[in-house]
Every structure is written in structure tokens, then in C-alpha cells.
Structure 1
Amino acid sequence: MVKKAIIPAAGYGTRNLPITKVVPKELFPIGNKPAINYVVEEAMAAGIEEILIVVSRSKNLIADYFDRSLELEAYLERKQKTKLLEKIKIPKIQIQYTRQPYAKGLGDAILLGKNFVGNEPFAVLLPDEVIFEKETDGLIQLTKLYDENKSSVLGLYKVEKQLLSSYGVVEWENLKKDIVEITSIVEKPVNNPPSDMAVIGRYVFNPSIFSCLEKTKPGVGGEIQLTDAINEMIKSEKIYGVTIHGNRFDISRFEEYLAANQYIQPFIE
């Protein structure tokens, strides 16, 4: 069973400047909750019991959001605003934090969770991608496959050709409906992407990924790329991909952020 998860949230958010100078993109509101709240709820629905959020020193607002506000609670209690008290309850899950001192890439951020994970399988959820699915939350689709095979799993999504240069794109061999075996992955291909299937921000890894990350040298953008470590991992063990069902939005893209808000609007109380 997958019980631990890492949420990397230390990036600069350059695609969303200038607002990300002061507001972390993970706290962008979707409806009346920030994006990262939905991601934490998704992790909880998949059975995750402990989360490590990787932050930078400019992301203290994230820790503040998941902390109690005793003054506000006391005020709402005095005013007998019970419904509002319910809205500010923090998720009932253990959340820890660690800082990424320098922005050295997603691979480096995940490597900071090595001691937190120990020798257990773990999930990775990128908080700038939210998935809304009425029947099965996104991460559950990965953890279910992991429980069946005990092999690492990547969440996949069919992406329009002109957007593939923003993602890791996989080569694969078909196994059965919605499930493939990954044979390689290319980070942000500019020309000739190997397929139209991109890795989105959901992963389940065996802890062996850490030894691969430790060997990984800076790649695209001078950063420690998770995709390079995955390619190294493929040499010694199987990695599967599963097509994620649900409405997925990349909030780093303005039009998708707006679409996420439009989608969630009917469900807001």
C-alpha cells in the first residue's frame, strides 16, 4: 500500500509572473479553495497518510494555509458561524515540510524526500495540475495499478501536439486498455515527440528511484530532471503508465486555470 506522498512546491512559477512574485501558484484559488488543497484531498482519497511538501523560503504561505488560525476560529465561534468554521478546517492528514534551497529541478526536489520516504513506495503529486473526477480521483488510478504489480506507475494524458514541448513525453508498448509499459521518456521534446502521451503530475515510485536520482547529472535547463532518472530506472525494472480519467487542468496555463474555475463553480456550496 502507498501511504506517503511528496508534493514539490518550490518552483518560481515563472509562467505565471508577475502574480507569483507574491502569491505561490499552488495557492491560486479554484472556486473557494487553493489548488494545493484539491491535490491534498486527492492524496487522502487514495489512502495517503503522510505528505511531505517541498517548499522554498518564499512559500511560507503554503504552511500557513494548512495551519490553524486560532484567532479566526475564536471569532467565528463567537459569531456562531458554524458553517464557516467547517470551511476552515484543515485536512486531517500529517503534513511535513522541507526546503529546497536552490531551484535545481523536480528531480532534486523529490530527492529531498529520501529520508521521509525510507524504504516504502510513495506518490508524487504536482500541485499545479488538478484532476476532477466524480468516480475515481486521479491518484487512486495509479495506486491501484501499483498494488497489482508492485512496479512504478506514471500518470499519462493525451496532449495536443503543440503543447507536447512543455511535458515529458513517453514511448510505450501497449498492454491493455489504458495501461502501457513505458520504454523511454523524453523531456520537453521540441521536434519529433515520440508520441502524443505526456506524463502529467501524478507518479507512484518504488524507492529505487532515489538511487537513480543520485546518479542523475543536470539535464535540460541545467536541472536534475526526473525524466532522466526514470530512463535510468527503466534499465533495471518495469515502469507502467496509466491513462488518467477525469477532467485535468494545468493551472500554469491561464486558459486552463480559467476552465478549472468554470468546471468547479457548480459544485461550490
Structure 2
Amino acid sequence: MGTIRKAVIAAAGLGTRMFPITKVIEKAMLPIGRRPTIDYIVRECAAAGVGEIAIVVRRGSTQIQRYYGDDTELRALLGRRGWAEKAHSLDELASVPSITFIEQDLEDRYGTAVPVLLARDFIGDDAFFFLSGDDLLVERHGRSTLAELGRDAGGGSGYALVGQPSSASSLDRYGRLETAETDGRTYLTDLVEKDAAETRPEGGKVLINISRYAFPGEFLPVLAAVGEHEESGEYRLTDGLVEIMRSTPIAVTVSLGSYFDLGNEQGLAEASRHVVVDNR
């Protein structure tokens, strides 16, 4: 498998943890500096060599589509007022990979597996990345965890995911990756969903799941067979991974960047400070 050229980004969530602002601004359009959060993730994909992106949006949403669409009326207005140079910052929007929008009905099935299944026509038989719009990974110029993820997947079974080093205290919010080393490579041995306090490792660093995956196209039938989770009622992508792990090695790529959870106010503020202030 060569460079992964397709990516699916889940961006259909209601953003209830960010109410009331997400009542009128889609969660993926909340700003970090002069850009919406979704644009950082789109450009992360581009930096990894992705040429086609499917963004799964909430049914009836328009804000992300409008952001990436060309606004000819705005350009004409700027030209009439002699402000054509102010449109130059809009030109870079055309430099992103080809984007397909797929609608998700939130009244239908729910869970992390659903955006991937909705994108099956877009994916076809190709390998692809899957990313959550809630998770931001900021890296130094020239580094790409996603590209490394693709190489790890391509050099093995085609399956890989990113592990983010974190403190054990974060495990009430994130899934934990258990791993083992074989021939100098790191492989997944278990996925632990949001450890209870009594089962968490004490002290030190752990690897958490930040929803960045590389899959071969043949993962889709496996995921389609995943049923509703008994306790949550969700269709969980990780249940499909656990099924694959029974017979297929899944590589773990340790993150090279700084991670921010964009699904809450604190994470968004920390991301903004890191991108706008610390990296000026």
C-alpha cells in the first residue's frame, strides 16, 4: 500500500458541551485564530499527502461548505471598493485537497462507526485515514504524525492508529491503548475505554486514543457487521478494531505533536493560545 490519498473527517456533532455558542456556529467552525478548527484538520491531511477528503456534516448544515466555497459576490465587492488585495487571504482556500460533503442524519444511528459507513461510496476499496473533528494535533513545521501513520499502516497489515502520550489522570476522558513491542515496532494489544479510577495505571505516561486511524478498504465490511453497543446504544468504531485485532496486527504510531480536545471550552482555549500566542 502506497501513500494514503483519502481521508474521512467526522464533523457532524451538535457540540452540546459548547452550548450556547454552538447553537448558531457549528462546532467545527469555532475559531482558532483566523481559521475554523476544521481547517487545521483539513490541512493536516494535506500535509500527509491526502488528495481527497470527505467531511461528514450534520444534515442541513451549510457553514463548512460555505467556508470552502468560492464567494464570487464578496470578491466582486472587494474589487469595486479597491480592496482586491484583501481577497488574497481567500485564495489559499483553493489550495486544500478536493472535498466531498456527506450528510449525517443525527436522528439515525449514532456513534464513531457511522461517519465511516456513510462514506463507503467515497472510500470504495481504497485505504483511508479517519479523523475526528473534535481532536486537534499541532506539529512543528515539516513533521506529520499522519504521514507516519500511513507509513506504519503501509508497512504492515494496513491497520494503524495514533497513540498520544498523556498522563494517567486523563483516562476518565479518553480510551487507553495497551501496546507491545515486536521487532522494533509498536502494536496494539488492547483498547480500554475510559478507565475507571480503580483500574487506571498509577503515575507515568500512557498512550490515549485521539481518533486518528489508517484503514484498508476491507475494513468496511467488518465495521458494517458491528452491532449496537449494549450499554451505550452507539455503533463504535473501536468495536470493529477489536474484532480485527483478534487476527490482524494493528500498528501504533506515537504522536509527534501537541494534542488538544476541541470538544470543550478549555481545550479550545488552550489550542488557541498554543497556535496564536505560543507559535507566533
TM-score, shorter chain, exceeding 0.5: yes
Q: Distance in 1 between matches of 2:99 and 2:188?
A: 31
List aligned pairs for 1:100-119, cutoff 5 A: 100-101=104-105, 102=108, 104-119=110-125
Residues 267, 67 of structure 1: alpha-carbon distance in 2 compared, 3 angstrom cutoff: farther
Task: Provide runs of 4+ in structure 1 moved above 4 Å.
Answer: 266-269
Shift of residue 80, structure 1, vs aligned partner:
3.9
Give the match for residue 162 of structure 1.
169
**Equivalent position amino acid for 1:207 in 2:** G
Would you say the 8 A contact 1:11–1:103 is kept in 2? Answer: no
Could you say what secondary structure the match of 2:232 adopts?
Answer: helix
CA RMSD of aligned residues (A): 2.2
Contact kept? 1:170, 1:185, Cα under 8 Å: yes
More deviation, 58-67/167-176: 167-176
Distance across 2 between alignment mates of 1:176 and 1:136: 24
- 1:189 and 2:191 matched: no
Q: Is the 8 A contact 2:157 2:250 kept in 1?
A: no
Q: Tell me which residue corresponds to 1:74.
A: 76
Q: Which residue number in structure 2 is paired with residue 139 of structure 1?
A: 146
Residue by residue, what CA displacement relative to the aligned partner does 1:233-263 show, whole Å, maximum 9, x if unpaired? 1122111111101122111132221121111
Structure 1 counterpart of 2:100, one-letter code? Q
Equivalent pair of 1:129/1:248 in contact (CA under 8 Å): yes
Q: Gaps (5+ residues) in structure 2?
A: none
Aligned residues: 268
Cα distance, 1:83–1:137 mapped onto 2, change above 3 Å: farther
* Kept in 2: contact 1:4–1:51 (CA 8 A): yes
Paired residues of 2:173 and 2:194 also in contact (CA < 8 A)? yes
2:190 is paired with a residue whose SS is strand
**Aligned-residue offset at 1:150:** 4.6
Task: Tell me, in whole angstroms, the C-alpha distance in 2 between the residues paired with 1:45 and 1:154.
Answer: 17
Question: Which digits, 9 at most, give the CA deviation of each residue in 1:21-56, with x for residues without a partner?
Answer: 221111110010001001111111111111111111
Does the C-alpha gap of structure 1 residues 261 and 176 become closer, same or farther in structure 2, counting only changes over 3 Å?
Answer: farther
Q: How big is the shift at 1:96?
A: 0.7
The aligned residue for residue 215 of structure 2 is 205
Name the structure 2 match of 1:96. 100
Counterpart of 1:23 in structure 2 is 25
**For residues 12-91 of structure 1, what are the structure 2 equivalents within 5 Å?**
12-89=14-91, 90-91=93-94
Contact 2:75-2:84 at 8 Å conserved across structures: no
Counterpart-to-counterpart distance in 2, 1:258 and 1:62: 21
Q: Distance in 2 between matches of 1:210 and 1:189?
A: 28
Segments of structure 1 that go 5 or more residues without pairing to the other structure are: none
Q: Residues 20 and 99 from structure 1, CA distance in 2 versus in 1: closer, same or farther, beyond 3 angstroms?
A: same
Q: How does 1:230-269 map onto structure 2 within 5 Å? A: 230-266=241-277
Task: Name the SS of the counterpart of 1:53 in structure 2.
Answer: strand
Distance in 1 of aligned mates of 2:24 and 2:109: 17
1:189 is displaced (CA, Å) by: 3.0
TM-score, normalised via structure 2 length: 0.88
Task: Return the offset for 1:151.
Answer: 2.2
